[in-house]
A = this chain, B = another copy of it.
Amino acid sequence: MTTNKDIKCQPECDAEKLLKLLSGKWKPQIFRLAVEGPLRFSNLLRQIPGANKQSLSVALNELVEELMLEKLVIRQKPLHIEYLLTDKGRSLLGVFRELEALSDNKNP
């Protein structure tokens, strides 16, 4: 028998959405590289071995949509586009740091 107080969890809370966003393929690498400076598409392709254009494109667009990255179009000779970590994006680095700290403890 189901009592009212059994239901406590929404199917998709905000924390979970955030977690999904962070854990998508190549996302952690993107974050890690973004901390070091502006990202460029073709550089990412080279820096992340195994990644493909499509997936990177999707990942970048999702992160831009969620305001973790800012897309900056530089109208210059060969046309450059830079992806920059926003304040919101930077606020997630704490989560990564926590995760790294935890996994360091567990298997040294």
Contact = CB atoms under 8 A, between A and B. Distances in A.
Interface of A: 2, 6-9, 11, 13-20, 22-23, 28-29, 32-33, 36, 43, 46-50, 88, 91-92, 94-96, 98-100, 102-107
B28 A19 contact: yes
Contacts of A29: 9, 16
A38 to B, nearest CB: 15
A36 B11 CA distance: 18
Which of A29, A48, A99, A103 has the most chain B CB atoms inside 10 A of its CB?
A99
29 contacts: A2-B46, A6-B46, A7-B46, A9-B29, A9-B32, A9-B47, A9-B48, A11-B49, A11-B50, A13-B28, A13-B100, A14-B100, A14-B103, A14-B104, A14-B106, A14-B107, A15-B28, A15-B96, A17-B103, A18-B103, A19-B22, A19-B23, A20-B23, A22-B23, A88-B106, A91-B105, A95-B95, A95-B102, A98-B98
